[in-house]
Amino acid sequence: MSGNTLGKLFCITNFGESHGPAIGAVVDGCPAGMELTEADIQAELDRRRPGTSRHVTQRQEADQVEILSGVYQGVTTGAPIGLLIRNTDARSKDYSNIEDTFRPGHADYTYWNKYGVRDPRGGGRSSARLTAPTVAGGAIAKKWLARQYGVRVRGYMSQLGPIHIPFESWDEVGNNPFYAPNAGIVAQLEEYMDQLRRDGDSIGARIEVVAEGVPAGWGEPLYDRLDADIAHAMMGLNAVKGVSMGAGFESIAQRGSEHGDEITPEGFASNNAGGVLGGISSSQPITVSLAIKPTSSIRIERRSVDRQGNPVQVQTLGRHDPCVGIRATPIAESLLAIVLMDHALRQRALKGA
């Protein structure tokens, strides 16, 4: 329970640093008897992988996963699933000058204050690279949820900086590097990103994640509500500054006669709740929105201090994503899947003989 484990009955313990020898995870609590191969996990890792378009970091990592345990003859045994991903494009350059400086917006300052020591290579433990083990664990949860309950977890980008992206079709999401559900807007997004790169700047984004097929009854109020655990997982993702369910911040200006979803014999008439009532799933789609801040690593010079408190100018020239939101969709899906599987198991404990 020292901070690197997510989930209770189904849980993932994450380890590794951006430029250490390897990253990975131990996934515990997956019931026995599910077919699982490295290919199942690799497919999700490939969706998150860097270097797949010019709009993301150019670091070249195969992100090849090895299953170390928990699977025998292609089937889960109930034992913990050890997952290993070797870092192959770690750069052994000189970090001594970075080590002494706190980059604005980064975790440098807080890691230094908390631990008194820090691995500066590529952000060390605070790097977005550590979302890869999360995605690997999420792949297992996604597969289990689909097979056991027919649950489908998907996501898309709904806003890139100032550009709102109208939802057209799930079919488009996989056809562009932005996870945009709208083919017509892709050219505009590419142009925006190209200009941003020329400016040496970065930008925020908004991501939507949806889980369909979740039965009513998942979530453990008073405190471990389903939406509370979703918020915990999502706000724990690098760069996320806001999380909302259903109508989210729109609810503030809504009246009760507008917000409360009416129920008819055919089902709910709307979904302002985002699929959760009183912290428990209602059988409607679970809908989550994430606000993702712009990447802190930019070419533009910024003011900061060094460890001694002297003023310095900081400019980040290395490989980085100009919009971390672009690769956030598969990660957010993974986090939602992990939380849902955990709550599915918790509800199974309480129900049935």
Question: Taking the complex as a whole, how short is the minimal distance between the CB of residue 168 and a copy of itself, in angstroms?
Answer: 20
Tokens of 180: 């945009």
AA letter at 14: N
Answer yes or no: is 78 a known binding residue: no
Does residue 251 touch a copy of itself according to CB under 8 A?
Answer: yes
295 is annotated as contributing to ligand binding: yes
Measured distance CA(36)–CA(63) in Å, rounded? 18
Stretch that binds a copy of itself, among 16-24, 49-57, 138-146, 186-194 (CB under 8 A): 16-24
Task: Quote the DSSP letter at residue 306.
Answer: B
Q: Which is nearer to a copy of itself, 111 or 179 (CB)?
A: 111
- What is the number of alpha carbons within 13 Å of residue 334 lying toward its C-beta? 28
Q: How many whole angstroms separate alpha carbon 341 and alpha carbon 109?
A: 35
Stretch of 36-44, 54-62, 116-124, 175-183 lying at the interface with a copy of itself (CB under 8 A): 116-124
Binders in 161-220 for a copy of itself, by CB under 8 A = 161-162, 196, 201-206, 216-220
Using rule CB under 8 A, residue 334 touches a copy of itself: no
Q: Is 48 annotated as a binding residue?
A: yes
CB of 304 to a copy of itself, least distance (A): 5
**What residues numbered 38-97 form the site for a copy of itself, per CB under 8 A?**
66, 68-70, 72, 75-82, 84
* Distances in whole angstroms, Cα of residue 49 to Cα of each of 21, 46, 68, 328: 18, 5, 21, 11
Helix or strand run (H / E) with residue 303: strand 302-305
Tell me the C-alpha distance between 331 and 155, whole Å.
Answer: 9
Nearby residues of 217 by Cβ (< 8 Å), 6 or more positions away: 280, 281, 347, 351
Report whether 293 belongs to an annotated binding site: yes
Is 309 one of the binding residues for a copy of itself (CB under 8 A)?
Answer: yes
Q: Is 281 annotated as a binding residue?
A: no
CB of 142 to a copy of itself, least distance (A): 18
Binding-site members are 48, 54, 125-127, 238-239, 278, 293-297, 319
